[in-house]
Amino acid sequence: MSLAVDYHFEPGKKNDGLIYHLPLSNLNNVEIADFEWLTPGLLKEKTAFYIKSLPKSLRKQFIPAPHYADLVLSEMSPDRTVSGGKKEPYLYQLVWALNRKANNKVSLNDFTETKLPEHLTPYFVLEDDKGKKLAENSDLNALKQEYQHLVDAKIQKHQAKQNTQNVTITEWNFGDLAESQTIKSQGKEMLAYPALQIQNDSIVLGLLGEQQSALVAHGHAVILLLERLLVDKVKYLQKKLPMQKACLCYAPYGTCQDLTQQVIDRALTILVPNPESIRKQSDFEAVLNQVQMQWINTAQQIAKQTNAIFTMHQQIAKQVRGRVNPRWLASIADIQQQLDDLISKDFVRKTPETWFNQIERYLKGLKVRLEKLDLDPGKDQKYIREIQPILKMYRDIAAEPAYQNQPGLVDIRWMIEELRLSLFSQPMKTIKPVSIQRLEKQIKSL
């Protein structure tokens, strides 16, 4: 996408600095993350300004600010994305890069009061198809909120002309879907994104203006279409999955129906991990056939795992709650915390596959730990003292919004379980080498 750009020098005015001339036909294809990086000539100044805005206790770690601006920018990139292709914001990356060089950690919250000077923020002039100014604002999201409906109207008008406006779908009989579609409006070209969508409990095929929204909507609709085409499998699983033991243990978290649905959803996610990428009719038919053949067996296997996890979890919980062995008292809080961390209301649906398959092993490790605790409580307490700093490091970083989408954070959370095995539950083996020092290094590398 090529945009006309001006530079206006008028300090103190809102349009001081970079001015982007944004055609209405491109409004649906831009987001604020595209413009946070300004130009190379301004980016260093912007970064140094953020550093200088930090509270003194944090700021003194990054003196001189221009030097540290160069260092952190070498580790940042406008092309860095998270799962699903969404761009990682500039400020998130700034927090990561600063914290790799800091003893006292920086938080996203430290920048909430920072107000950049006008010349370090982009300014937008929105123009219609004839190049006439519609609006101007430094807030791109405000422009999108106010004028996106005009883009949507163009897409709807195009679909009406083509007689393809939100066609209701009950099976995949419409051929392949293109990644995008070019629409012409008054001589201007704009991109729209074909996608299945869920509307009022129906599945419809239409065009959406934003690529990311189209991907998300399409993925949800593909899953729903599979479920509706295989409704007999859904009904069978809802009634016949062997979940009695697990449901009794799940009662403090939710209903048996909730837990059963999690198992059904997890099985489908394993069989269809990226539904948003299914755009060819042949691919959908292949996936439909695979799910038809394997959904029940996959769900039954997950139900078996879930029963085993809950049964063992309940056994350990009974041992460490209420009246307990006096020799365990100094270790009980840590053990109970680990138990609570392993099981949550929606852990069956949300735990990554690699680690879901290890939960039963971690519970076995807790059983071994309790046996060893009887023999040597002092050794257990020694390991608790050793592990506390790494637990605090992880909890602090997990609570920081800038790290929420970091895939490495999930692995660290589960490698802490491996670390617990290596410390408390020998001679049980870990799936790969782990130590406090390795985990500290991993956390710092984030």
Token look-up 């409580």 returns 377
Q: How far apart are the first and last CA of the chain?
A: 32
- Region for residue 225 given its phi and psi (left: phi exceeds 0; alpha: psi -120 to 50; beta: otherwise): alpha
In a domain? residue 218 = no
User: Total domain count for the chain?
Assistant: 1
CA 264 to the chain's CA centroid: 22
Measured distance CA(259)–CA(203) in Å, rounded: 26
> Helices 377-398 and 329-342 sit at what angle, rounded to 10 degrees?
40
Could you read off the pLDDT of 362-394 as tens digits, one per residue? Answer: 999 999 999 999 889 999 999 999 999 999 999
% of the chain surpassing 90 pLDDT: 69
> Helices 377-398 and 359-375 sit at what angle, rounded to 10 degrees?
140
In a domain? residue 113 = yes
In a domain? residue 21 = yes
In a domain? residue 170 = no
Could you read off the pLDDT of 186-214 as tens digits, one per residue? Answer: 667 888 899 999 998 999 998 888 888 89
In a domain? residue 186 = no
Strands 123-127 and 17-23: parallel
Please, which pLDDT band fits residue 110 given cuts at 50, 70 and 90? very high
Q: Which two tokens stand for residue 35?
A: 């413009």
Q: Is the pLDDT of residue 417 over 90?
A: yes
Residues linked to residue 183 through DSSP beta bridges, in sequence order: 190
Strands 202-208 and 123-127: unpaired
Once rounded to an integer, what is the mean pLDDT over residues 4-26? 86
Measured distance CA(8)–CA(19) in Å, rounded: 7
Task: Report residue 66: phi and psi, to 5°.
Answer: -60, -35
Contacting residues for 135 by C-beta, under 8 A, at least 6 apart: 125, 126, 143, 146, 147
Q: Is the peptide bond before 23 cis (omega within 30 degrees of 0)?
A: no
Please, which pLDDT band fits residue 163 given cuts at 50, 70 and 90? low
CA 38 to the chain's CA centroid: 26
Query: Which position has the higher pLDDT, 394 or 85?
Result: 394
| Residue 66 · residue 50 · CB < 8 Å | no
In a domain? residue 415 = no
Q: Look up the pTM and report it.
A: 0.85
In a domain? residue 79 = yes
**What is the predicted pLDDT for the residue at 85?**
66
Domain that holds residue 102: 4-137
Task: Report residue 123: phi and psi, to 5°.
Answer: -125, 140
Say which range, 147-161, 246-260, 301-315, has the weakest mean pLDDT: 147-161
Please, which pLDDT band fits residue 151 given cuts at 50, 70 and 90? confident
Q: Which amino acid is at 225?
A: L
